[in-house]
Structure 1
């Protein structure tokens, strides 16, 4: 760390993990105890989010000097994995928050971010608003920052997949600034009257993440809260992806634990089985064993990719531009490789674990299908087939992976 251009006290280099984690594990246990009820009744986790806010969870990445825990990125994603094991919806709901926190931590290199740090330490959370709604052509940004008749900056637009915003105090909003003719992030307050957030996400999994429609109508925004998008932290795409890896790993851990308990308690056996109890059947033990190994691999890969993010984070504060480029390329590559493998591992184990039980495993009262459903939805983000192609293009042709990409209507589709 001798080439760092900033005092180490200004950075988040890591903490005593067990000491930090033990502060939050009682909250995780409370969350886990009510997770099945929320799943079955589709209850948004307002109260669990408040528990996390009160415990200071949203500030764990903030440097100790500014009141946070100063955890490293591998430690952050280990905590998020523990949270995802308790309730995977909560980890995903906090994805936008920690991405915005990371951006402010990185921006601190050149512009002091004490005010934002104070907000995070006080418990403020940030939601997400990036994806345009409807037949917006790819590359177009309908959400706009303009000046009103009084000369004040305002934002108008509509977004979907506004994950976590319904629980948040701020929204990390992607928009086009007409006053400067550039793409920006507008940090807007959810407490403004022009902000409306609907809980209309209709996915079959991850149903309580608050990923619905966000409408912004003449919402004021301070000039200092309009941030040029080209200054966004470079490893953001990899960061967002590793969030999904931590979520998938937590789902896998919870699935193995839950199915193991079902096997331990099961009293009915098949006449053509292999043991006096299901828990003694070697074929059943083999299934649990393989799922456990797959979960171990998922966690190990998640931690490896998180370490690549930490290297990219530190390279930003170093003196070598070449090392920074290399570190960001490595983070993007490793996060993509991790996505391809972890998605397959977790989808496989959450399906195969049903072979440990009989038809009773299909009971809606158990909701054992939630593990596969949630994993399937998380794995559907950032299509794996395109990541596999990008990895192959890197390996064969040294073509850089896409750091920023968008989704929208094809320009070849004619609209009326």
Structure 2
């Protein structure tokens, strides 16, 4: 498989060797185009993810994990997304959960989350409410109401990415006193309904449907209240989740490169009569397009891993209890900049793939349009224009970047 030179070659932030999932990812890649075309859910693949405990990559070895850095995690996510971006995206909220609740030394009931993650359990997320006028923020209509020593949970969540395949779901809700909270519950609990109704143009298999919660019992140790030091209340707590999306887009671009190489190499001895050479595979113009896609894939991966380095520095400071306000904003800025670059490079080159293959590349059976559709859907998750405006204001006037929600 033709891949860009990994940026890990130029810098490394962990002495721990990241596990090699090459064979697993290759098997995932084999059926990715067909699954996307026919909308075949990857339940069996998620089971393999559980068995290989990919969800425990960030836990320490003593806790049953691998102890890798965020840079290494993003590198793994890029490779998994190159195999199948739907699978990588289905795990996005899980990876964010691990750092937010299972790794944080200040998270309540941390041992419980560590045990579940180490066992292979997967976590999805129910956050968005279409009834809210504010995207990425409270208040929530979904509510926790007192019920003896615990709570009852009622509400409806949309775009519950990964939850269809998950063992547990993190539900963002209003606790008594209108405090923002996370209820972390098994998806099999009575009153939880998972609806497979996501119908996006891309990322069709991310398990991003509706989650309906009807009088769901929630135990006291399954609720984490937001505070300035814990969970979603931590300033810039969403940076990792944002960078994971961009890492998936970078993985799509890596797959575009693979397909461009295969596509040009497979073209028969047939070319336009006015081309410079008789064989398309020997045409320097087409070879140049592949070269430019290769450069774009390298650049995309490099900026994602550079942003991951900033997150590693921030995480080390927070874990040690050191002041981290400046590092948090720096990491958020790096992640936002990476998004702007990677989105543009991927969307442009997912289209240029068809310049390499010609009209036959548009055949439905090839499903090469999935790269653009998937990248466009991911890029639409959060506004690049608003991020660019926030970055510009920060550079020009020193205005702080948004510290909550979807930045």
Same fold (TM over 0.5): yes
2:304 is the counterpart of 1:302:
yes
Matches within 5 A, 1:105-144: 105-109=102-106, 113-133=110-130, 135-138=131-134, 139-144=138-143
SS in structure 2 at match of 1:259:
helix
2:86 is the counterpart of 1:86:
no
> Number of matched residues?
387
2:247 is the counterpart of 1:250:
no
Q: How far apart are the structure 2 equivalents of 1:275 and 1:130?
A: 55
Q: How far apart are the structure 2 equivalents of 1:386 and 1:37?
A: 35
Give the corresponding residue for 1:338: 338
After TM superposition, the runs of 4+ consecutive aligned structure 1 residues lying more than 3 A away are 13-17, 109-112
Q: How far apart are the structure 2 equivalents of 1:31 and 1:284?
A: 29
> 2:296 touches 2:345 (CA, 8 Å); kept in 1?
yes
> 1:245 touches 1:338 (CA, 8 Å); kept in 2?
yes
> 1:128 touches 1:171 (CA, 8 Å); kept in 2?
yes
Give the corresponding residue for 1:198: 195
Cα pair distance change 1:378/1:158, threshold 3 Å: same
2:314 is the counterpart of 1:312:
yes
Matches within 5 A, 1:147-186: 147-148=146-147, 150=148, 152-178=150-176, 180-186=177-183
> 2:104 touches 2:319 (CA, 8 Å); kept in 1?
no
TM superposition shift of 1:405: 3.3
24, 28, 32: which one pairs with 1:31? 28
Give the corresponding residue for 1:239: 240
> 1:235 touches 1:312 (CA, 8 Å); kept in 2?
no
Give the corresponding residue for 2:59: 62
Deviation per CA, 1:241-278, whole angstroms, max 9, x where unpaired?
Answer: 11011101110011110121010010121111122211
37, 42, 45: which one pairs with 1:45? 42
TM superposition shift of 1:238: 1.3
Q: How far apart are the structure 2 equivalents of 1:358 and 1:137?
A: 44
> 1:15 touches 1:69 (CA, 8 Å); kept in 2?
no
Give the corresponding residue for 1:410: none
> 1:146 touches 1:155 (CA, 8 Å); kept in 2?
yes
Cα pair distance change 1:198/1:111, threshold 3 Å: closer
> 2:238 touches 2:406 (CA, 8 Å); kept in 1?
no
Q: How far apart are the structure 2 equivalents of 1:212 and 1:300?
A: 32
Q: Runs of 5+ in structure 2 lacking a partner?
A: 1-12
SS in structure 2 at match of 1:131:
coil
Q: How far apart are the structure 1 equivalents of 2:96 and 2:50?
A: 16
SS in structure 1 at match of 2:196:
coil
SS in structure 2 at match of 1:30:
helix
2:327 is the counterpart of 1:327:
yes
Q: How far apart are the structure 2 equivalents of 1:120 and 1:214?
A: 22
> 2:102 touches 2:113 (CA, 8 Å); kept in 1?
no
TM superposition shift of 1:110: 6.5
> 1:333 touches 1:401 (CA, 8 Å); kept in 2?
yes
Give the corresponding residue for 1:411: none
Matches within 5 A, 1:330-409: 330-405=330-405
Q: How far apart are the structure 2 equivalents of 1:38 and 1:278?
A: 30
Q: How far apart are the structure 1 equivalents of 2:295 and 2:149?
A: 60
Deviation per CA, 1:52-94, whole angstroms, max 9, x where unpaired?
Answer: 1001111010011111100000000101111000000011100
> 1:256 touches 1:292 (CA, 8 Å); kept in 2?
yes
> 1:106 touches 1:313 (CA, 8 Å); kept in 2?
no
TM superposition shift of 1:319: 4.4
Deviation per CA, 1:205-240, whole angstroms, max 9, x where unpaired?
Answer: 000001111101111112122111232254432111
SS in structure 2 at match of 1:62:
coil
> 1:15 touches 1:70 (CA, 8 Å); kept in 2?
no
Deviation per CA, 1:143-163, whole angstroms, max 9, x where unpaired?
Answer: 000024x55311110000100
Give the corresponding residue for 2:144: 145
> 1:60 touches 1:68 (CA, 8 Å); kept in 2?
yes
Q: How far apart are the structure 1 equivalents of 2:245 and 2:290?
A: 23
Q: How far apart are the structure 2 equivalents of 1:286 and 1:307?
A: 32
SS in structure 2 at match of 1:132:
coil
